[in-house]
Amino acid sequence: ERTLVRYGDWTDLYRQRWTWDRVVRGSHNRVNCISACSWNLFVKENVVWREEQNAIYEASRPDVPDFNPRGCQKGCSYSDRMYDGSRLRHPLKRVGARGEGRWKRVSWEEAMDDIADHVIDTLRKEGPRSVYWDMGGGMTNGAAMVGLVRTIRLLDMTLLDIDSEVGDHHPGAAVTCGKITFSSSADDLFYSDLILIWGGNPAYTQIPNAHFITEARYKGARIVAITPDLNASGIHTDLWVPVKVGSDAALGLGMARVILEEDLYDAAFVREQTDLPLLVDPITQRFLRASDLEEGGAEDQFYVFDLEAREIRPASRTSLDLGGRRPALEGRYEARTLRGPVTVTPVFELLREQVEPYTAETTEELTGTPAKLVRSLARQIAKARSATILTQSNFSKFYHGMEMERAQFLVMALCGQFGKKGSGLNGFPMLSIDGNFPIGVAPPPLPDLGTFISMLRDGMGPEDDETEEMFYLRTMRELHEAGNFISSALLFHVHGGLAPLTGASRRWDPQLPRETEEYLQEAIDKGWQLAPPVPRIFFSAGGNILRRVRGYDRLYEGFLPKLDLMVTFDWHMSQTALHSDYVLPAAGWYERDDIVWATPLAPFTQATTKAVEPYAGSKTDWEFHYRLMEAIQKRAIARSETDFVDHAGDTRPLDDVFDDFSYWGQISAEDPEPLLKASLFITSNLGDTSWEELKEKGWARHTGLGRNPIAITNATDIEPDETITANTWHTDKKMPWPTLTRRMQFFIDHEFYLELGEQLPTHKGDLAIGGDYPLQMTGGHTRWSIHGSWRDHKLMLDLQRGEPAIFINRRDAMEREIADGERVEVRNDLGRFELVAKVSATVRPGQVIVYHAWEPFQFAGHKSHQVATPTPFNPIQMAGGYYHLQQFMTVGQPGMNDRGTRVEVSRLGHPSGDPATAGRE
């Protein structure tokens, strides 16, 4: 009931405007933002009126800058976004053709019952693995994730692993380090004296953390940007190093040659931490193994030549501590093998031969980077006290991106730039509380701390000479082998109609010895990759495949017709929602209690709390799963179809599946707080923080990595008064790396790598992916949205061109008679799309840029730039059966790509599309 307010003049109105009823802590979860900032939410008359940054983060140390302020323009505008016209208010059922836009409003109960009937039919007739869930990048550490995990576990369904599809899978990190999730904290940059922004644009994508770069610069650090275009991060550096699109591996190998040629490498680090001292047969290009020396010898025991003992000796598998040994880095030695004497040499010798062609002058030809600058930059990295590379999930979006990442790791490893404060090269940043997943998989009743510990100890633990890190990675691989996780890239290749794109690698890469399908079939036959089951039901609950997937337009005819049912659970009408059978309204981020996932960059777990009730008829993720499982049990009993057969051939019940889901009724639909309390109660790496304390403060700092597979690979101790430096367990504690050789591994003697000539890091030339066109299209994460969540938000559109735009160099625009702001057509052999031109001198000639996440409905004919991306699989990423080259969640799968796609741009209205023959209209 509103209170009657008596106003005097305009000042009273102004004062009344700046009042509120209460302040609540909040954040933005299920949006896939790595920053996770805490906000004060101001609530007035049950409306979130505005938000402000919760600037109470503490510094790690007195001599290091604190994390304040945290936040960005997206976060501070969400109180407007959550009430704009894009919000879904009620469940909608399709009544026309898919994509036609004809809907009928239905009740939640009607929708749930119908969806439940479809699910029961599919479970019993097609099998549970035909039901797919896509959560996109919408991770959470709270009730939303528990609901999803319990639904999938109890019904044996399939969850899409999208990392390789979106290009976040860091194949170079996986090959070199045996893992991809490791990162230092952003404030650790304060200890760097050389910061290389190489493969990222933190001014766009890490707005809350970017101030640490500036503060390090104030302290004396030298900032260098290595990019084709002079981007928003590059303009704030001491040096911009221009590089041709896709030539970064050549730059890395050129610098490696300088480092080796001038003896600038850190020999102690190379001997201890890398595989470069391990002995290889240069003829067969295989490591010398124990199986070569004795019958029944191990395939994973390798050897070095010890200069102190003057003999070939086994390399330790349990510790990187050399123990007085001095492995040779050069020379030729004779090994007495089962097949007779064999000459062997250290990998280091082969590396010298590998980089020999990459003189500074040749590197300049390949990269466009001046030879003088190649030499200077190599010397700076080698001589820096602590150098670090700021890279993000960029290079894995290139066809040959793995080699670009491997070259980066090579340069840093040669210079010993790992494990020191302010040094390193980050993989994918991930940190998590360790109490959430066990709650999701636990049988009822809701477990307490004692049950949780017994669950962990029940038949689990490192085997033989495994490290704890290796143990958790092995359990991840075993979990993946069960088949509940399937690569979305492979799903859309096999069942989505994308094979003519993803499987056409040889069309663009004619040097491939075999067709892509041959490599893939071999990988599937050998168990290296999992073949996806035929999809029948598809739940989009956090994802948006018809915006996200490269070549999404092929899914309309190749994927959607295979589905008996497609359900989208979202808070706004996305492109995927437009083509769904049901669209269900999701609660916003200020309308739920939940826990946000974290990263080491800002090692804080955040709470988002329910400031207001869910908008209109929307429901939280937890309640959505709750109502779905409730309906499945109800309809199964009503239909007398109370069981199904899972993928293993075992019979599972449906008449008590909801009872199990809700922990025998311990948790209600509307109040998941007991889950959050239990999750934090059993969490070991957030101190003694309770849910009540987290709600009140808004955040808590991590105190350790915990018992968590995605966090343990940071391989470092988190101290209360120190910045975080990744991988110190390897460099300080001498713990082996989780690779086949138990070292940072640059030589891979897998059969695919040998066949494709990639056993050592290499540069593979520019390919005309997309056709013979003069321009290379690149992209990046936009500054004005987190994926699609703000892409059509008026406030964010007001800060840019207001519609999709392509950045083009001024010279290229003049040659094509394109003026700034004109509509243009972009085309190649795959397709065409239209948007406006943004002419810029900061874009490299021959390069055009389209930033990601525009919804297709924002383009003419619903055709975005994704219709022109060939996205061919690189077969090298299908390799498996080689200890650390194995598929599991986020790792070891073929990736989709778009960077460097060839296109032409012309003014819209040229009938021929040929700017050379067209004139002004």
Query: Is a pLDDT exceeding 90 seen at residue 16?
Result: no
Do 579 and 562 have their domain in common?
yes
How long a stretch of residues is the chain?
Answer: 921
Query: Is a pLDDT exceeding 60 seen at residue 910?
Result: no
In a domain, 223, yes or no: yes
Q: Which residues pair with 825 in a beta bridge?
A: 834, 906
Name the 3-class secondary structure at 557: helix
Do 75 and 149 have their domain in common?
no
The pLDDT mean for the chain works out to 94
SS (H, E, C) 482-530: CCCEEEHHHHHHHHCCCHHHHCCHHHHCCCCCCCHHHHHHHHHHCCCCC
Amino acid identity for residue 839 in this structure: V
What does the pLDDT look like over 595-642, one tens digit per residue? 998 999 999 999 999 999 999 999 999 999 999 999 999 999 999 999
Do 220 and 321 have their domain in common?
yes
Residue 911's pLDDT band (boundaries 50, 70, 90)? very low
In a domain, 920, yes or no: no
Q: Which residues pair with 840 in a beta bridge?
A: 809
pLDDT at 5: 61
What does the pLDDT look like over 122-161, one tens digit per residue? 999 999 999 999 999 888 889 999 999 999 999 999 999 9
- What's the CATH code of the domain at 604? 3.40.50.740
Residue 451's pLDDT band (boundaries 50, 70, 90)? low
User: How many structural domains is the chain composed of?
Assistant: 4
In a domain, 38, yes or no: yes
Among 81, 114, 133, give the residue marking a domain's end: 81
Among 81, 114, 142, give the residue marking a domain's end: 81
In a domain, 334, yes or no: yes
What does the pLDDT look like over 477-533, one tens digit per residue? 988 888 899 999 999 999 999 999 999 999 999 999 999 999 999 999 999 999 999
CB 738 within 8 A of CB 713: yes
More confident residue, 563 or 438: 563
Query: Is a pLDDT exceeding 50 seen at residue 920?
Result: no
Averaged pLDDT, 713-741: 98
In a domain, 886, yes or no: no
Averaged pLDDT, 746-775: 97
Do 69 and 105 have their domain in common?
no
What does the pLDDT look like over 890-908, one tens digit per residue? 899 999 999 999 999 999 9
Do 179 and 193 have their domain in common?
yes
Do 609 and 476 have their domain in common?
yes
pLDDT at 727: 98
What does the pLDDT look like over 581-591, one tens digit per residue? 999 999 999 99
Among 81, 103, 135, give the residue marking a domain's end: 81
What does the pLDDT look like over 176-220, one tens digit per residue? 999 999 999 999 999 999 999 999 999 999 999 999 999 999 999
How many whole angstroms separate alpha carbon 301 and alpha carbon 356?
29
In a domain, 764, yes or no: no
Map tokens 């009344």 to a residue.
16
Spell out the residues 6+ positions from residue 874 whose beta carbon is closer than 8 angstroms to its own.
Answer: 399, 400, 402, 505, 894, 895, 897
pLDDT at 456: 53
Query: Is a pLDDT exceeding 50 seen at residue 915?
Result: no
Do 118 and 52 have their domain in common?
no
In a domain, 443, yes or no: yes
What does the pLDDT look like over 356-387, one tens digit per residue? 999 999 999 999 999 999 999 999 999 999 99
Residue 399: both structure tokens together: 């066809």
Residue 178's domain spans which residues?
A: 172-429+730-747
What does the pLDDT look like over 805-847, one tens digit per residue? 999 999 999 999 999 999 999 999 999 999 999 999 999 999 9
Do 441 and 410 have their domain in common?
no
Q: List C-alpha distances in Å: 131 to 115, 144, 688.
A: 12, 19, 39
Do 391 and 485 have their domain in common?
no
Do 177 and 301 have their domain in common?
yes
In a domain, 717, yes or no: no
Residue 912's pLDDT band (boundaries 50, 70, 90)? very low
How many whole angstroms separate alpha carbon 289 and alpha carbon 280?
9
- What's the CATH code of the domain at 327? 3.40.228.10
Do 301 and 195 have their domain in common?
yes
User: Taking the alpha carbons of 95, 101, 106, 109 in that order, is the dihedral positive or negative?
Assistant: positive
Spell out the residues 6+ positions from residue 243 whose beta carbon is closer than 8 angstroms to its own.
Answer: 226, 227, 228, 251, 367, 368, 369
- What's the CATH code of the domain at 785? 2.40.40.20
For 615-681, list the strands marked E by DSSP. Answer: 643-645, 651-653
Do 408 and 557 have their domain in common?
no
